[in-house]
Amino acid sequence: MWKNRDTTGLDNKMIYFKGEKYAFIGLIDARDNKTENVWAGINTEGFAIMNSASADLSEEPEGMINNGRFMKRALSECADALDFESLLNRTNGNRKVAANFGIIDAEGNACFYETSNSTFQKF
């Protein structure tokens, strides 16, 4: 899976994280000293995620504030596409994201999710 960063920040780096359930490698902004946002990655279970920001899906002014935090959480908690969809269902109404998430898992599942704060559409 390839992530083309839609950002003006050109300096990025890959970081190893020990997540809540799974360890993962994540792409972060090199200036992010807190390592709160991950913009693409893959975990030890073979679950990979990337996104493209989608402001038109934003339901509020801070609608995209958690795009990177949400991907970091997904890499930490999700082993496969079913886990990711469960995470989306559990967080409906409380995500603060506006993004198209692309995911691939070790079982060969590949999906795109058009995602806002309170809804998502699977493709």
**pLDDT band at residue 57 using 50, 70 and 90 as cut-offs:** confident
Q: What is the mean pLDDT of residues 41-70?
A: 87
Asked if residues 47 and 83 have their Cβ atoms less than 8 Å apart, the reply is yes
Rounded Cα distance, 50 and 12, in Å: 14
Residue 75 lies in a domain: yes
Which pLDDT tens digit goes with each residue over 8-17?
A: 777 899 999 9
Asked if residues 14 and 59 have their Cβ atoms less than 8 Å apart, the reply is no
Q: What is the mean pLDDT of residues 78-103?
A: 95
Q: What is the CATH number of the domain that holds 52?
A: 3.60.60.10
Rounded Cα distance, 74 and 88, in Å: 9
Which residue type is seen at 44? T
Share of the chain above pLDDT 70, in %: 93
Residue 2 lies in a domain: no
Domain count, the chain: 1
- Residue 3, pLDDT score: 66
Q: What is the pTM of this model?
A: 0.91
Residue 92 DSSP symbol: T
Which pLDDT tens digit goes with each residue over 32-41?
A: 899 999 999 9
Asked if residues 41 and 71 have their Cβ atoms less than 8 Å apart, the reply is yes
Residue 5 lies in a domain: no
Q: How high does pLDDT run on average in the chain?
A: 91
Rounded Cα distance, 53 and 47, in Å: 20
Residue 3 lies in a domain: no
Residue 1 DSSP symbol: -
Structural domain harbouring 57 = 12-122
Asked if residues 95 and 87 have their Cβ atoms less than 8 Å apart, the reply is no
Residue 26 lies in a domain: yes
